């Protein structure tokens, strides 16, 4: 289920599966996974400032809704959970903490989601993306007009994970 | 491999007539493409030849990061130092083509392999043509960036397979002051801008040296070996790249932690590039899917025993199309 919710967030889900996943979102564990993945994405993007009592107000308004609708596309594309997993395991534990701090419902589902993210993080080689970005950027024409500075910025931003001891 | 199909004569004649009509149509954008290419060349020259010191603001998603950039051209030899000003300290030093990244907290220095960069010093005629065909290039408003008089230029995409780009260049020198990538909804995907910049001042070699000695004894130096980049036929190809994208470079590169060299193909529409990496990973499943970082989309898929990673400053639809049409020649 988590996989499909993650794909829904990334806008990768085809129409066929959309109804199925939206139905899952009506269940508490589905909703918790949805919320958790967004918190993970928001945390990795650094958008963690929520107004006090946000989750309570959100829960109250949500309860008042007759049904859970397919969410609108966000202005900024959410980072996919795969990308989220590319961060260090340490980052994931921070995410978990934030997730628990923000959402007080369904801790079990959240714990599962966190576990899944941690497992994926452990599987992925964070060096891979960083190395690919570096290798790519030096080949890009845009790089030639920007010089090393701007183009290397995303790569160095990725590097904390890559910078871990070999 | 291009698919050859048997074509009967009338169809061939029709195709020729169509080709002539298309040639007449593209004659007009060609002049525009010249302008665009001239502008890009001037910006590239300025970035290489001038001496400058400035602070760069990089914004993507909800992130804002700042870094300090120092660039020196000492009689044709280029030196550059980039230091980030927030978060854990990072330093990137470029010295006559060699790139070193310093991670003081992890005590790691990475020496990047020699680049593909010199393989294509300027745009090929094909890329210039693509620029004119797939982007509308125009002069936009005059303004100021980092206290300097700036002229804005826009590359507006003509299809959904590339982003829009807006650049602000210094009126006096042509140096790029600000760059913005805009998606199909008009949203800014990422932006780079100098917030302060001094061009043409005196810069010593000392200012572009790394802050740490070449190899501190307790640091790990991860160096790329010789022959890490080998330009040659990889046996891989893209059957149907998005229109306007042509291959600009192909080869194998040794990447850290990989037993075998990774095939690397680079495609460009004259403005942006999309890289395709193909590596043998055996049959074990790997995480796949789409990822985004600023204006860069990354799509990973498994192809038989290989992992295909496509990444570039292009919309998700474009990187997916690359990934979907990977072929073994």
The CATH number of whichever domain residue B186 belongs to comes to: 2.50.20.10
Is residue B202 in a domain? yes
Q: Are B311 and B273 in contact (CB under 8 A)?
A: no
Domain shared by B145 and B187, yes or no:
yes
Does residue B286 belong to any structural domain of this protein? yes
pTM of the model: 0.66
**Long-range contacts, stretch B137-141, CB < 8 angstroms, 24+ apart:** B137/B32, B137/B33, B137/B35, B137/B36, B137/B39, B140/B166
Of A115-129, B140-154, B315-329, the least confident: A115-129
Verify that B170 and B21 share a domain, yes or no. Answer: yes
Asked if B72 and B203 sit in the same domain, the reply is: yes
* Closest residue in chain B to residue A140, using alpha carbons only: B273
The answer to whether the Cβ–Cβ distance between A150 and B179 falls below 8 Å is yes
Quote the mean pLDDT of chain B.
83
- Can you tell me the distance from the alpha carbon of B268 to that of B263, in angstroms, rounded to the nearest whole number? 17
User: Taking a contact as any Cβ pair under 8 Å apart, which residues of chain B between 24 and 53 contact chain A?
Assistant: 40, 43-44, 47-48
* Domain limit, last residue, from B221, B252, B287: B221
Task: Of A67-76, A94-103, B79-88, B118-127, give the range with the top mean pLDDT.
Answer: B79-88
Rounded distance between C-alpha atoms, residue B150 and residue B46, angstroms: 14
Q: Write out the residue range of the structural domain in which residue B324 sits.
A: 229-328
8 A C-beta contact, residue B249 and residue B231: yes
Task: Choose the mutation target among B59, B70, B81, B101 for the interface with A, i.e. most A CBs under 10 Å.
Answer: B101
pLDDT (0 to 100) of residue B151: 96
Residue B258, number of CB atoms within 10 A of its CB: 16
- Are residues B253 and B201 part of one domain? no
Instruction: Give domain status of residue B1, yes or no.
Output: no
Interface subset of B 203-232, CB within 8 angstroms of A? 220, 222
Q: For chains A and B, what is the number of CB pairs under 8 angstroms?
A: 191
User: Phi-psi region for residue B76, left (φ > 0), alpha (ψ -120 to 50) or beta?
Assistant: left
In a domain, B112, yes or no: yes
> A10 touching B, CB under 8 A?
yes
Does position A120 have pLDDT exceeding 60, yes or no?
A: no
Tell me how many degrees the CA angle B156-B159-B163 measures, rounded to the nearest 5. Answer: 50
Q: Say whether both B179 and B36 belong to one domain.
A: yes
Q: CB-based contact (8 Å) between B293 and chain A?
A: yes
Judge whether residue B86 has pLDDT over 80. Answer: yes
In a domain, B176, yes or no: yes
Would an 8 Å CB–CB cutoff place A70 in contact with chain B?
no
- Is residue A47 within 8 Å of residue B62, measured between CB atoms? yes
Backbone angles phi, psi at B52, to 5 degrees: -155, 155
Overall domain count for chain B: 2
Same domain, B211 and B235: no
Q: State pLDDT tens for residues B253-302.
A: 877 667 788 999 999 998 888 999 999 988 777 778 888 877 889 899 99
Please check whether residue B235 is in contact with residue A104, taking contact to mean a CB–CB distance below 8 angstroms: no
pLDDT of amino acid A26: 78
For residues B10 and B180, which has the higher predicted lDDT (pLDDT)?
A: B180
B61 and B116 share one domain: yes
Residue B2 lies in a domain: no
Strands B108-112 and B262-268 turn out to be: unpaired
- What pLDDT band is residue B314 in, cutting at 50, 70 and 90? very high
Asked whether residue B212 is assigned to any structural domain, the reply reads yes
Give the domain-ending residue among B189, B221, B253.
B221
Among A48-57, B12-21, B48-57, B151-160, the least confident range:
B12-21
pLDDT category of residue A84 using cuts at 50, 70 and 90: very low
Q: Is B264 on the interface with A (CB under 8 A)?
A: yes
Q: Are residues B48 and B196 in the same domain?
A: yes
Residue B68 structure tokens: 């300090």
* Tokens, residue A38: 């967004």
In a domain, B3, yes or no: no
Lowest-pLDDT range of A111-115, B225-229, B306-310: A111-115
Report residue B60's pLDDT band, with 50, 70 and 90 as the boundaries.
Answer: confident
Backbone angles phi, psi at B56, to 5 degrees: -110, 135
Same domain as B62, residue B150? yes
Q: What's the average model confidence in pLDDT over A29-43?
A: 73
Mean pLDDT of A19-41: 77
* Residue B141 shares a structural domain with residue B259: no
Which residues numbered 159-198 in B keep a CB inside 8 Å of some CB on A? 167, 176, 179, 185, 187, 192
Helix (H, G, I), strand (E, B) or coil at A90: helix
Residues in chain A within 8 Å Cβ distance of B313: 140, 142
CB atoms inside a 10 Å sphere around CB B70: 20
Cβ atoms A121, B287 nearer than 8 A:
no
Q: Which two tokens stand for residue B139?
A: 């002069």
Residue B198 has pLDDT above 90, yes or no: yes
B260 three-class SS: coil
Which letter does DSSP use for residue B204 in this model? -
Q: Please list, in sequence order, all residues whose beta carbon lies within 8 angstroms of the beta carbon of residue A34, skipping any fewer than 6 positions away.
A: A5, A9, A25
**CATH assignment at residue B289:** 3.30.200.100
Domain boundary among B177, B193, B221: B221
Pair (B68, B121) in one structural domain: yes
Chain-centroid distance of CA B87 in Å reads 25
Q: Are B149 and B170 in contact (CB under 8 A)?
A: yes
pLDDT at B195 over 70: yes
């Amino acid at each position: 289920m988590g996989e499909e919710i993650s794909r829904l967030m990334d806008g990768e889900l085809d129409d066929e599966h959309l109804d199925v996943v939206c139905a899952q979102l009506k269940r508490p564990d589905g909703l918790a996974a949805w919320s958790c993945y967004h918190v993970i994405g928001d945390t990795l993007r650094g958008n963690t400032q929520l107004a006090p009592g946000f989750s309570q107000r959100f829960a109250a308004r949500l309860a008042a809704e007759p049904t859970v609708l397919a969410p609108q596309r966000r202005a900024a594309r959410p980072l996919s959970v795969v990308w989220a997993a590319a961060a260090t395991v340490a980052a994931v534990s921070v995410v978990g903490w934030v997730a628990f701090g923000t959402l007080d419902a369904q801790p079990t589902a959240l714990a599962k989601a966190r576990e899944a993210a941690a497992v994926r993080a452990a599987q992925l080689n964070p060096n891979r993306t960083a190395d690919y970005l570096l290798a790519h950027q030096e080949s890009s024409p845009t790089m030639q007009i920007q010089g090393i500075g701007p183009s290397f910025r995303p790569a160095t931003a990725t590097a904390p994970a890559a910078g871990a001891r070999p | 491999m291009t698919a050859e199909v048997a074509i009967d004569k009338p169809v061939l004649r029709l195709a020729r007539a169509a080709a002539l009509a298309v040639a007449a149509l593209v004659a007009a954008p060609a002049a525009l493409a010249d302008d665009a290419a001239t502008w890009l060349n001037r910006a590239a020259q300025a970035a290489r030849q001038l001496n400058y010191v400035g602070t760069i603001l990089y914004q993507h998603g909800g992130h804002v990061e700042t870094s300090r950039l120092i660039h020196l051209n000492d009689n044709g030899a280029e030196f550059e130092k980039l230091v980030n000003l927030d978060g854990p300290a990072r330093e990137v030093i470029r010295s006559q083509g060699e790139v070193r990244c310093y991670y003081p907290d992890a005590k790691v220095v990475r020496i990047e392999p020699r680049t593909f960069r010199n393989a294509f010093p300027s745009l090929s005629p094909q890329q210039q043509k693509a620029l004119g065909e797939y982007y509308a290039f125009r002069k936009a408003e005059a303004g100021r960036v980092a206290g300097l008089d700036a002229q804005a230029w826009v590359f507006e995409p003509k299809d959904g397979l590339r982003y829009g780009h807006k650049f602000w260049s210094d009126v006096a020198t042509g140096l790029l002051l600000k760059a913005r990538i805009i998606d199909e909804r008009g949203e800014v995907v990422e932006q780079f801008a100098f917030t302060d910049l001094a061009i043409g001042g005196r810069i010593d070699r000392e200012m572009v040296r790394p802050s740490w000695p070449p190899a501190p004894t307790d640091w790990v130096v991860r160096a790329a070996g010789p022959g890490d980049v080998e330009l040659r036929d990889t046996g891989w190809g893209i059957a149907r790249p998005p229109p306007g994208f042509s291959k600009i470079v192909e080869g194998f590169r040794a990447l850290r932690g990989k037993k075998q060299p990774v095939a690397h193909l680079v495609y460009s529409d004259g403005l942006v590039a999309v890289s395709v990496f193909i590596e043998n990973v055996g049959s074990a499943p790997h995480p796949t899917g789409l990822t985004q970082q600023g204006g860069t989309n990354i799509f990973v898929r498994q192809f038989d025993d290989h992992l295909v990673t496509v990444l570039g400053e292009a919309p998700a639809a474009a990187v997916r199309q690359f990934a979907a049409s990977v072929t073994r020649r």
